[in-house]
Amino acid sequence: MKDFPEGFVWGAATAAYQVEGAVAEDGRGPSIWDTFAHTPRRIADGETGDVADDHYHRYAEDIRLLADLGLTAYRFSISWSRVLPSGAGKTNPAGLDFYRRVAETCLENGVTPYATLYHWDLPQPLEDAGGWLVRDTAERFRDYAAITQGALSDVVKHWMTLNEPWCSAFLGYGNGEHAPGRTEGADSLKAVHHLLLGHGLALQAIRSPENSVGIALNPAPVYAASESEADRDAARRADGLRNRMFLDPLLLGKYPGDVLEDTGMADWFARYDVDLPVISAPMDFLGVNYYCPQTIAAPDGPIADPGKASTTPGSENLVAVDTGLDRTQMGWPIDPDSLKTLLRTINELAPELPLYVTENGAAYPDEVGPDGRIEDAERQRYLEQHIEAGRQAAAEGLPLKGYFIWTLLDNFEWSYGFSRRFGIVHVDYATQTRTVKESGRWLKEFLSR
Under the rule (CB under 6 A), what is the footprint of ligand FCB?
Answer: 15, 18, 163-164, 167, 218, 289, 359, 406, 413-414, 422
Residue number with CB closer to ligand FCB (56 or 422):
422
Sign of CA dihedral 372, 377, 379, 383: positive
Smallest separation, CB 414 to ligand FCB (Å): 6
Upstream peptide bond of 180 is cis (omega within 30 degrees of 0):
yes
Q: How far is the CB of 43 from ligand FCB (least distance, A)?
A: 13
Q: Are 245 and 254 in contact (CB under 8 A)?
A: no
Q: Given the complex with ligand FCB, which of 125 and 423 has the nearer CB atom?
A: 423
- Closest approach, Cβ 268 to ligand FCB, in A, equals 27
Closest alpha carbon to 150 in 206, 231, 87, 71: 206
Distance CA 70, CA 445 (A): 8
Torsion of CA 365, 360, 445, 344, to 10 degrees: 140
* 147 and 84 Cβ atoms separated by less than 8 Å: yes
CA 391/CA 368 separation, integer angstroms: 31
Report the residue number, 151 or 191, with the smaller CB distance to ligand FCB: 191
From the CB of 241, what's the least distance to ligand FCB, in Å?
Answer: 16
CA–CA gap between residue 374 and residue 139 (Å, rounded): 46
- Which DSSP state fits 338? H
- Residues whose CB is less than 8 angstroms from the CB of residue 447 and which lie 6 or more positions away in sequence, other chains included: 1, 10, 69, 70, 71
Minimum separation from the CB atom of position 411 to ligand FCB (A): 8
Closer CB to ligand FCB, residue 414 or residue 442?
Answer: 414
Distance of closest approach, residue 233 Cβ to ligand FCB, in angstroms: 27
Name the minimum Å distance from CB 333 to ligand FCB. 15
Is the CB of residue 293 less than 8 Å from the CB of residue 221? yes
- DSSP string of 222-282? EEESSSSHHHHHHHHHHHIIIIIHHHIIIIISS--HHHHHHTT-HHHHHTTGGGHHHHTS-
**CB-wise, 49 or 185, nearer to ligand FCB?**
49
By beta-carbon proximity to ligand FCB, the closer residue of 34 and 275 is 34
Q: What is the 3-state secondary structure (H, E, C) of 134-165?
A: CCHHHHHHHHHHHHHHHHHCCCCCEEEEEECH
Other CB atoms within 10 Å distance of the CB of residue 331:
10
Q: Which residue is nearest to ligand FCB (CB)?
A: 15
What's the min distance (Å) between Cβ of 75 and ligand FCB? 10
CA distance 21 to 64: 19
408-418 burial, b for 16+ CB within 10 Å, e for fewer?
A: bbbbbbbbbbb
Strand partners, 428: 433
Q: Which residues have a catalytic role annotated?
A: 164, 359
User: What's the closest the beta carbon of residue 344 comes to ligand FCB, in angstroms?
Assistant: 22
Of 132 and 269, nearer to ligand FCB (C-beta) is 132
Element (H, E) at 296: strand 294-297
Rank residues 56 and 414 by Cβ distance to ligand FCB and give the closer one. 414
Asked if 151 and 141 touch (Cβ cutoff 8 Å), the reply is no
Task: State the greatest distance between any 2 C-alpha atoms of the chain, in Å, as a whole number.
Answer: 63
How long, in residues, is the chain? Answer: 449
Nearest residue (CB) to ligand FCB, 161 versus 280: 161
